[in-house]
Structure 1
């Protein structure tokens, strides 16, 4: 495996992960509403694990070659973001407001929401369909392309876990003693999810 290409991928990937988007908005919102950001971040990482498995199996190429399926997946993800963002705007909550109800079922919901957001995140589709293939090296004694895809996918998941845990923990630590600011940030996160979802939905439907 070309470790120079791996290093280049990590640099590009870190840049993409550090750009605020739907994942950031969700983990900040989840961090301010629950005891821990771990269920939210775990869900997001699992969503990208699904992307990785599909890419390794070669199914990502099939999705890229099927405009109808790609449109359906993007529209589903965008619609889900709109719904979730609207829910956060309606009930922004405050730090620790959900602590008493943050039981196993709530943790499971937070986890599943995270997995759905990243699993249908158009930015994730872009990474696995357009960016990641540019860092694969075929032949010349290198590892099989499927193995290289798995390695890069795992590195992306690790990067997401590190960045999103940091974002969620810092947001909660900084805003836990500032309820008004926390509600404002949560509303902003909800508006970001709603806005991103609406933009992607309109953009995708405009291509039909």
Structure 2
């Protein structure tokens, strides 16, 4: 079940920079600590549909259906490009701004973070490949074990993303002191999300 090998494997996976990490870093730098925590929370909850799909065996259907896979994939590509465009124009959630987001703004940040992961079809297939090797082998407890492993993975994801976001927020005052730095950061985040969109577009079922 929750073995040291699983924890180490999960740690290596969650620490690797990806779309959620970039999003959380951007919100930490651009909008502060509360926004970073909201981003980390949203990205983590975006894992839930994929974990459920893997647990119920739907990931195999996603892998087998090229049409379904591509519909979700291209929706994700379009969403990432939209995020990149917003950062480039210095509008939207990713824009580096002096003002902290409101409560409603934090909810929107979390929803956008969730959508980033929900619209990545590879996550379902990833869970279907990652979790089964760590199961006990008892078919009667497989679903419960998958859910438990997934919950531990989500907790580790949230903690690591929060650390990334809070670390980024520590540099927020320095960034806000320079309009040039804000402009370059917005361009950098736009480039990162455009690159992530291209990478997702290249993914195959």
Q: Decide: shared fold, TM above 0.5.
A: yes
Measure the CA separation in 2 of the matches of 1:79 and 1:88.
14
Q: Which runs of 5+ in 2 are unaligned?
A: none
Give the superposed CA RMSD: 2.4
Instruction: Provide the secondary structure at the position in 2 that maps to 1:121.
Output: coil
Identify if the C-alpha distance between structure 1 residues 103 and 33 changes in structure 2 by more than 3 Å, giving closer, same or farther. same
Does structure 1 residue 147 correspond to structure 2 residue 144?
Answer: yes
1:25–1:190 contact (8 Å) kept in structure 2: no
Say yes or no: does 1:47 pair with 2:46. yes
Residues 120-174 of structure 1: CA deviation (Å, up to 9, x unaligned): 23552342132223323323xx861111110111111111111100000001103
Aligned to 2:18: 21
TM-score (structure 1 length as normaliser): 0.83
User: Which of structure 1's runs of 4+ aligned residues deviate more than 6 A?
Assistant: none
State how many pairs are aligned.
197
Asked if the contact 2:59/2:125 (under 8 Å) is kept, the reply is no
Q: Is the 8 A contact 2:53 2:124 kept in 1?
A: no
In 2, Cα distance between equivalents of 1:97 and 1:123: 35
Which of 139, 142, 156 is residue 153 of structure 2 equivalent to? 156
CA distance in 2, matches of 1:93, 1:152: 35
Residue 105 of structure 1: aligned partner: 104
Q: CA deviation at 1:187?
A: 3.1
- Per the TM alignment, residue 26 of structure 1 is displaced from its structure 2 partner at its CA by 0.5
- Cα offset, 1:189, TM superposition: 2.6
Deviations 1:39-63 (A, max 9, x none): 1111111111222222223322322
Cα offsets for 1:10-45 (capped at 9, x unmatched): 212211211111111111111223241121111111
Gaps of 5+ in 1: none
Tell me by how many angstroms 1:118 deviates.
1.4
CA distance in 1 between partners of 2:152 and 2:185 (Å):
29
Quick one: structure 1 residues 127 and 185, their matched pair in 2 at CA, closer, same or farther if it must change by over 3 Å? farther
